[in-house]
Amino acid sequence: MIAIAIAVLVALAFLVLFTTSRRRDTGRLSAETRRKDKSDSPFLADAPEQVRGKDYERQVTLARTTPGTDVAVPAETAVTPYVPVDPETLGVTRRQFFNRSIVAMFGLGLSGFGAAVLAFLWPGLSGGFGSKITVGKVDDVMQAINDAKQPFYYSAGRLYISPFPKDGIPKAKKAYSAAVLPGMESGLVALYQKCVHLGCRVPFCPTSQWFECGCHGSQYNRVGEKKGGPAPRGLDRFPVEVSGGSISVNTGIVIQGPPIGVNTTGQEAEGPHCVGGGHH
């Protein structure tokens, strides 16, 4: 996709350069100018009187029909050697100036557009969603989770960081792929905020301590495993890496949530539900 975009932009740029760099504005004079040149050119004023083609033809015809008439022989004309015009003397015509400014403006616009396209197609460059992002220090994030008593929401990554309990690891090893296990072993999951039902953002319900979707009532426990509602599986997630005391999440890789029935933590609702009117 990126390669195609670059190829198209380069081709366009070449086309613009080619079509505008050709100088069609010199070498051809308008009919009016040519007429003027012929009529009263100051340079031709003292040129020797020349016999024009038409007069010569007339004289020849006359000589044929009327013997004794002389035909004027045209004088030898020396060929003037061509001297290329010094570009400095020629200068930049107004038309050239406008042409060049148009090319420059068009080029600027095109490169701006190209840069925007590249930035759009290359989310990794911007360091936002779709790339590997650093969420913060483990200690700070855990502190925030404990203080607020809810998973840490990181909007730039469209994700929640939720703690994963150590005693859930044996069960997790059976249910989860190798891509998410290292993160779970270091005590964290990064859950994609998007409901796997129809894509609403799933908020965390502080009373039940579950994720509960307001759109159609899907419910997931604190580590994103499906508990109720129409969702076809648990919340999707991203690989988490803890190194040097900070958490980084690769939001370029979305890992499908666990199938219905996976329950590694056994966490039941811890209070009233936020959706569906259900009570514990």
Positions touching ligand FES (CB under 6 A) are 195, 197-200, 213, 215-218, 229-231
Q: Which is nearer to ligand FES, 168 or 224 (CB)?
A: 224
Least Å from the CB of residue 275 to ligand FES: 8
Choice between 141 and 159, CB closer to ligand FES? 159
In contact, 160 and 220? CB cutoff 8 Å: no
Smallest gap from Cβ 223 to ligand FES, in A, equals 17
Nearer to ligand FES, 188 or 220 (CB): 220
Q: How far is the CB of 266 from ligand FES (least distance, A)?
A: 23
Place of tokens 């670059």: 6
CB of 197 to ligand FES, least distance (A): 3
Residue with Cβ nearer ligand FES (104 or 198): 198
In whole angstroms, how close is the CB of 205 to ligand FES at the nearest point? 13
Across the beta sheet with 204-205, the strand order is 204-205, 210-212, 219-220, 226-228
Nearer to ligand FES, 161 or 231 (CB): 231
| Burial profile 53-84: b = 16 or more Cβ within 10 angstroms, e = fewer | eeeeeeeeeeeeeeeeeeeeeeeeeeeeeeee
Compare residues 187 and 229 and give the one whose CB is closer to ligand FES: 229
Q: What minimum distance in Å lies between the beta carbon of 225 and ligand FES?
A: 15
Q: How far is the CB of 276 from ligand FES (least distance, A)?
A: 10
Identity of the residue, 211 or 238, whose beta carbon is nearer to ligand FES in the bound complex: 211
